[in-house]
Amino acid sequence: MARSFLLKLHRGEGPFFGFLKRLILASMRSSFTPPRAIKPLFCFFYHAHYAVSFGFRQFLNIIYRGPLFKARCETVGRNLSIWSMPAIVGPVRIFIGDDVEIFGHLGVTSGRIFDEPRLVIGDRVDIGHNIQITVNREVVIEEEVNIASGVRILDTDAHPRDTDARAKGLPPPEAEIKAVRIGRRAWLGQSCFIMKGVTVGEGAVIGANSVVVTDIPPYAVAIGNPARVVVKDVRQAAAPGKSAEPAPPRA
């Protein structure tokens, strides 16, 4: 009976169900706009809402999330800032430097192919929201790296290339697991993928949604899938009197 009622309501059959459907849709779309006289009061409540939310989050970070996460790490430097509890799975050993900021969800996953996979995060690294790092051998993020939201860093393909081994659910062999290094002051754009064995050079910039499968030279700009260098030296391109137009992609 309830199912029949909901179906008729969804279809808006007849005058009664049609009126009821229109009434529900109107209530979902309508919103109260405060009169000008009391608008400052509502504005105050708006800011108060976020002040209370932020304050409570920081309180939890200080007394709960921060201590638990630090206990899971091998070493943590001064002034770590986190917005939510990082999710760590597997035996990875984590080393974090000074003044690191994690602005949202961070997931770190490791397998048991190597006894002590390592994730090293240097000083003054900024890590955005919804970051996933897969560490089966080693991932090193050097000082002052900026990682935008949605980035994926993987030192393995997660499954072996061999079809039979993959069908049997076997882990990838050690030869297919290759360390990743992100050079100091590099910038990883939103939702890019840094794949196994890659070194992103110092000061390099990786464009949004790019997939990096080969090394990127220092101070280069790389975009695309697979990522290709479009500017060879951002320092030279940005210098006074120099052309800032990107160089053609490498072959």
Question: Over the stretch 31-66, which tens digit does the pLDDT of each residue have?
Answer: 778 888 999 998 999 999 999 999 998 899 999 999
Q: What is the pLDDT of residue 66?
A: 93
Q: What is the pLDDT of residue 238?
A: 53
Helix ranges restricted to H, the chain: 2-11, 14-29, 39-60, 66-72, 163-167, 234-238
| Of 15-19, 36-40, 118-122, highest mean pLDDT | 118-122
User: By 3-state DSSP, what share of the chain in percent is helix, strand and coil, each rounded to 5?
Assistant: 30, 25, 45
Q: What is the pLDDT of residue 138?
A: 96
Q: What is the pLDDT of residue 50?
A: 92
Residue with tokens 């109260």: 32
Q: What is the pLDDT of residue 237?
A: 57
Look up 159 and say whether it is catalytic. yes
Q: How far is CA 135 from the centre of its chain?
A: 15
Q: How far is CA 243 from the centre of its chain?
A: 33
Starting at the edge strand that comes first in sequence, how are the strands of the sheet with 187-188 ordered?
81-82, 101-102, 126-127, 146-147, 187-188, 205-206, 221-223, 228-231
Peptide bond into 173 cis (omega under 30): no
Residue with tokens 């072959």: 251
Question: Over the stretch 226-237, which tens digit does the pLDDT of each residue have?
Answer: 999 999 988 865
pTM: 0.79
Average pLDDT over residues 198-218: 96
Instruction: Count CA within 13 A, CB hemisphere, residue 94.
Output: 22
pLDDT above 60: residue 221: yes
Average pLDDT over residues 161-184: 89
